[in-house]
Amino acid sequence: MKFLLNFPNSNSLPGFLRTGWAQLDIAEYWIKINHLFKTIKHFKDMRSPFKGNRSNLSGLKMPESDVSQQFSDTDFSSVINPDYLKWRFFGFPVTEYKVIDDKQAISIARIGKRGVLTEVQVLFILPKSAEFRLKLLIKSYRKITDFDIISLPISKNHSLTRQLLPNLFLKVPNKASVTYKILEFGNANRFQQTGIVSHKLSYLLMRAFIRNSFLSLFGTFKAPKPGIHIINAHYVTPNFVDENDAKVFDKFLQHISKNAKLITIQEATRLVAEKQFDQKEALVAFTFDDGFAECFDVIAPILEKHKTNAAFFINANYVQSDEDYQKNYNERVNVFTKRPMNWQQIKSLHDRGHVIGSHTLDHMNLAAISEEEQFSQLDANKKILEEKLNYNCEYFAWTYGQMQHFPESALKIAQQFHPYIFSGTNYKHYFSANEAIINRRHIEPFWPKSHVNYFLSVNKKP
Ligand SMILES: [Zn+2]
């Protein structure tokens, strides 16, 4: 999906809306008054524009806490860590900033004036635990600066909004607005058709906006770190495949080969399982989930051209399924332009040295079904694959890839069936769940090179 974001003021907003832009109605502006008498006396100053104080970059202590958040789903992912904060707030220091990095949160604010009133504008809060209290954060700001008002631009659905009223924050009218225009639909089309545009799309757009602006600049300067990187992808394009997509995938492999060595998935799995993390260079291996036709048509031949292979994680019921089944399957994986491989193609990949792994029978969310169903989803899929290919199915990747999609019971079942279990999360660490799970990094081949660089630049830990 490609889109543009813009930040028109209230005067130019109507023009934007008339010419096909849509509005993201997510920002609210909340303030809390610290010095009541002064603020009342100068209340008209509240209408003055915010003017940032002179930059204080030289004396500023950057956030250093090793706290990072990573969000990802099938469409977008984003990373927030100290490097990101440095880029986002301190790359172009035009105002005075204050940084809180204490037990409960990292927070960044800019300091400025509205008329004679001093305002602390809190731009960023990253709670370090669920115990986060807004009250304590305000206290921390009070300790380091004497302000008349503290303000918080925040999205309507943010979990913090519950703490605003009890802390005597007031909502004030906000002129800033965010508009967007979709250039190329991809999956966004789906959201519009199904009428869930506003909430889900705006959420995804904002996250994508953060990720894109951050990684495009930041990723440019990053090179892969020595270690073993296992990539988790699905397809060469979210759209219908055309002749250009083979080139895109070829370029993706060329780009990685420049700074890293491509190795087979069997080799990568062995190195991780044997904890041979002390590598001289970045080693990269590939996996593809869901078994779409382009795995056979495009992906495997180009991997072979680059003298490497991949693991393909298959849902047996999707293979050679009828149209009704495919429609439901596509809903589950949120892709609407894909067809499955057939058994001859999967057999061919297997014969050519690629790994065929299990991805459960029907691509259900394992956390949403009973233990009996979890068992049969894993058991039946392994049996069918082994019968069709006459081998021992050692590789398993659960659906949707995050820990919340993989209950303890499903892990126990998977361990009975498969020596190697792969996630799609927690990529900075080689393992999850006491070394029971090998983590993969979600990267799609058509993502910008800078994003790929960034993900490969992670210093992985056991
Ligand atoms: Zn999947």
Burial class (CB in 10 A: 0-12, 13-18, 19+), 410: buried
- Token code pair at residue 116: 């004679």
Burial class (CB in 10 A: 0-12, 13-18, 19+), 23: middle
CA of 164 to the centre of ligand 1 (A): 39
Instruction: Report every protein residue that has its C-beta within 5 angstroms of ion ligand 1.
Output: 289-290, 399
- Token code pair at residue 186: 């991809």
Model pLDDT, residue 12: 67
96 within 8 A of 54, measured Cβ to Cβ: yes
CA of 333 to the centre of ligand 1 (A): 6
Model pLDDT, residue 76: 37
Nearest to 173 by CA among 41, 17, 47: 47
CA of 68 to the centre of ligand 1 (A): 25
Nearest to 52 by CA among 111, 109, 122, 117: 111
Residue 133 pairs in a beta bridge with none
**What are the pLDDT tens digits along the chain (462 aa)?**
445 555 555 566 677 667 666 665 446 778 888 888 888 888 888 878 788 888 776 667 776 665 554 443 333 334 556 666 666 666 656 678 888 888 888 788 889 998 999 999 887 777 777 678 899 999 999 999 999 999 887 766 666 777 888 888 888 765 555 565 555 444 444 434 333 344 445 555 555 555 444 444 444 445 678 999 999 999 998 888 988 999 999 999 999 998 899 999 999 999 999 999 999 999 999 999 999 999 999 999 999 999 999 999 999 999 999 999 999 998 888 788 899 999 999 999 999 999 999 999 999 999 999 999 999 999 999 999 999 999 999 999 999 998 989 999 999 999 999 999 999 988 889 999 999 999 999 888 988 776 777 778 888 888
Model pLDDT, residue 262: 97
CA of 258 to the centre of ligand 1 (A): 29
pTM above 0.85, yes or no: no
Nearest to 454 by CA among 433, 420, 427: 427
Residues in contact with 351: Cβ distance below 8 Å, sequence separation at least 6, in sequence order:
none
Nearest to 355 by CA among 276, 260, 286: 286
CA of 300 to the centre of ligand 1 (A): 18
First and final CA of the chain: distance in angstroms? 34
CA of 290 to the centre of ligand 1 (A): 5
CA of 232 to the centre of ligand 1 (A): 10
CA of 127 to the centre of ligand 1 (A): 31
The one-letter amino acid at 169: F
Helix, strand or coil, per DSSP, at residue 409: helix
Model pLDDT, residue 121: 87
CA of 341 to the centre of ligand 1 (A): 14
CA of 24 to the centre of ligand 1 (A): 30
CA of 419 to the centre of ligand 1 (A): 19
CA of 372 to the centre of ligand 1 (A): 21
CA of 359 to the centre of ligand 1 (A): 7
Model pLDDT, residue 225: 83
**C-alpha 105 chain-centroid distance:** 21
CA of 261 to the centre of ligand 1 (A): 26
Model pLDDT, residue 259: 85
CA of 363 to the centre of ligand 1 (A): 6
Q: Where are the alpha helices (DSSP H) in 145-284?
A: 188-193, 202-218, 244-259, 265-273
Whose structure tokens read 């002749």? 243
CA of 148 to the centre of ligand 1 (A): 52
Report d(CA 67, CA 54) in Å as an integer.
29
Model pLDDT, residue 122: 86
CA of 428 to the centre of ligand 1 (A): 21
Whose structure tokens read 């790929």? 452
CA of 408 to the centre of ligand 1 (A): 19
| DSSP string computed for 88-131 | HHHSS--SEEEEEESSSEEEEEEEEEETTEEEEEEEEEEESSTT
Model pLDDT, residue 153: 76
CA of 401 to the centre of ligand 1 (A): 8
Model pLDDT, residue 431: 96
CA of 45 to the centre of ligand 1 (A): 55
Report d(CA 349, CA 390) in Å as an integer.
13
CA of 246 to the centre of ligand 1 (A): 22
* Structural domains of the chain in order of their starting residue, each with its CATH number: 26-176 (3.40.630), 223-456 (3.20.20.370)
Model pLDDT, residue 346: 98
CA of 281 to the centre of ligand 1 (A): 30
CA of 331 to the centre of ligand 1 (A): 12
CA of 233 to the centre of ligand 1 (A): 9
273 within 8 A of 438, measured Cβ to Cβ: yes
Whose structure tokens read 């080693």? 283
Model pLDDT, residue 381: 98
Residues in contact with 110: Cβ distance below 8 Å, sequence separation at least 6, in sequence order:
52, 53, 95, 96, 97, 98, 120, 121, 123
The one-letter amino acid at 38: K
Sign of the Cα pseudo-torsion (317, 323, 328, 334, in order): positive
CA of 291 to the centre of ligand 1 (A): 9
97 within 8 A of 90, measured Cβ to Cβ: yes
